[in-house]
Structure 1
């Protein structure tokens, strides 16, 4: 029975692909659309039943079942076209695009599977890359699912996720922050005035009512702005190289985009919520580095300690690594932690990134706190690439510009700061 179902499934899928090819190749008469719609609906319903049967096979298969003798195997498999069906060689009337697209989408839904989806994503990614470097036309790219308009290419969802995944690896604020994907304005209420309770020893009277206290909220609104990056490639390279230039272009766009985004999140003076501007400056009195770290750890609100971690640049790591105890042994011990830099300081994991430098790599700078309070808003379907041909034509180059709308800010209220900043500038390195 299973063999019969598998063959029937293959026959239905073959017929659906044939119908889809006719529709996309404009080989279908407008008058035949209704008939094809009914056929596709019937095939889709039958295919769904077959898939369910294959997922839950019956135990009592009949050994006498012969696929060759089953008439349903060949029915609708492309050989059963009736005399009323349109001949592909006849002249065609225009088919309503909406009906055609709906029919094709119905077929695609029925044919969809994990392997099919992955294959389609791979085709779409390749088409996107090839279109960027001019190896296929805009119409060919659109036929393979790439959305283009006015020279701009909307980055396929799978590639956008790949870029964001790369961003998470390089930009730790994406890794530990809170990301929201939405088109609207994203706001966060912040408590700026607390209520106050009272205790009274005598009963309340009209002359002694409960004092009124107000609570007040402010709101921090994320304001997505443009993040973009530009790479140039010579026309000679595009024309002569055997290397996969399109993949190199994508990789360079990823790196350039992430570098710009990370600097905006960490160090931008135009971003009021950037880490360097919004983190609370921790300025203890003169003391040894180790004591400063202890004081800093104990300054973070208790409710935020559970998810807290250290984030520092290499200069700060060097300063911490050189701390010795009274016997001259390193105070910092290595401890392998999956997904981290490999250290713990005072029991909390450590990450090291050059973005903490803020343009001054010689300054030992570190942050400590709960970085989930760093809020990032990505505007849905806003990541796109523009191919700039005319602008750089006098130097025989092609420009590729990636563009995205997003914002990232450290958000906390005055009663519960979440991230603190410490600069180890006094040179003390002993415990």
Structure 2
């Protein structure tokens, strides 16, 4: 199949799709909820059709010119060169087909994802019903709607931006129970100066492991909207609802990962409390840094709250000069202290925002499991009908725990005293 045939086939496909859209419009199948996405698809198809027709015309003109050209003076092309030319042309044709296919599928996929996301939002606020939502690829059941994959990824991406443990931790997506072996007893080697005999065999060493299982539990969030606002506002209220659900969900999840006492693997519960007799804050930081196992230092970083950052940035030497100068601290957000990156998060506060708290270590040992296809949203109509409100609840199954061997702790925790003396 040559390039001209490919373009002709694509032209017919576009014209057929435009015909389908025209039939849908004339039959009244396109309503206010879908008119924007349909118009967008029509515009893209029309632009592509125009480009395809232009390329077809160019190929025709080129072919006519080659036919009219005189054949005199043509040189005999060797058979080997002909075969090489044919092979190269086949490769170019294959590449052309791949490009055309990719462009077409990408355009269709993006249009479908946009239509599905809009249908999901409109279903939430009651602008379309169950059957119409399902026809657009939204999975609904008994007032619950499964969050489309594209929106689910958007929520998780937002969570990674806000929840540092999602950004630096290790995530798995699976339905099964996820377990991680933890070494609890090390092997011991032997060395001897004489050759072994039957009376002097190798002393065996047992290796012991325990296994930590992630146990996904429910994370949910609920927002309420008045019926009056839903019916009277000209704002895209459905988008505001999605944004608020995202924020509420991420806040609850992050707090569970960082601080929850119900989570034995939360960062606060599982990180190793750093203790020292040192009273100087700067020296405490140095000793903490040097306590982390060497194998974990490669990916180590600081995560602290604002109270801890304020103390560190205001440390003074005996002459009243900032103790941590450019060689030690470079800015605050996303920069370095003692040579290691720094992140600041309000989730480190927990229930005690005034306590200067920081963590240091390799946070890739924080493991997160998201259960496949478990993120859903429910619309609650009856529960809040007495107050003329509608509830929207987001629900997800996941777990996040800090997991490490006692022989190689990965994250340490330090709470700074505000009355410690200066250097």
TM-score (norm 1): 0.77
User: Partner residue of 1:383?
Assistant: 375
How many angstroms apart in 1 are the aligned matches of 2:330 and 2:288?
Answer: 25
Matched length: 359
User: Partner residue of 1:120?
Assistant: 112
1:14 and 2:18 are equivalent in the alignment: no
1:276 and 2:268 are equivalent in the alignment: yes
Counterpart among 348, 354, 357 of residue 356 in structure 1: 348
Say whether the 8 Å CA contact 2:329–2:338 is kept in structure 1.
no
User: Partner residue of 2:71?
Assistant: none
1:311 and 2:312 are equivalent in the alignment: no
Matches within 5 A, 1:110-259: 112-259=104-251
1:393 and 2:385 are equivalent in the alignment: yes
TM-score (norm 2): 0.79
Q: CA deviation at 1:384?
A: 0.5
Gap change, CA 1:188 and 1:342, over 3 Å in 2: closer
Say whether the 8 Å CA contact 1:13–1:111 is kept in structure 2.
no
Q: CA deviation at 1:4?
A: 6.3
How many angstroms apart in 2 are the aligned matches of 1:160 and 1:336?
Answer: 40
Counterpart among 252, 259, 262 of residue 267 in structure 1: 259
Q: CA deviation at 1:121?
A: 1.1
CA offsets per residue over residues 71-123 of structure 1, 9 Å max, x none? xxxxxxxxxxxxxxxxxxxxxxxxxxxxxxxxxxxxxx999522221121111
SS of 1:206 mapped into structure 2: coil
Q: CA deviation at 1:162?
A: 0.7
Say whether the 8 Å CA contact 2:172–2:370 is kept in structure 1.
yes
Q: Which moved more, 1:355-364 or 1:194-203?
A: 194-203
Q: CA deviation at 1:339?
A: 12
Q: Which moved more, 1:382-391 or 1:319-328?
A: 319-328
Say whether the 8 Å CA contact 1:312–1:353 is kept in structure 2.
yes
SS of 1:200 mapped into structure 2: coil
SS of 1:236 mapped into structure 2: helix
How many angstroms apart in 2 are the aligned matches of 1:236 and 1:265?
Answer: 37
Q: Which moved more, 1:337-346 or 1:145-154?
A: 337-346
CA RMSD of aligned residues (A): 3.0
Q: CA deviation at 1:137?
A: 1.1
Gaps of 5+ in 2: 28-51, 68-100
Q: CA deviation at 1:336?
A: 13
Say whether the 8 Å CA contact 2:259–2:266 is kept in structure 1.
yes
User: Partner residue of 2:322?
Assistant: 330
CA offsets per residue over residues 283-326 of structure 1, 9 Å max, x none? 11142100000000000000110100000001000110111123
Q: CA deviation at 1:342?
A: 3.9
1:290 and 2:291 are equivalent in the alignment: no
Q: CA deviation at 1:20?
A: 9.7
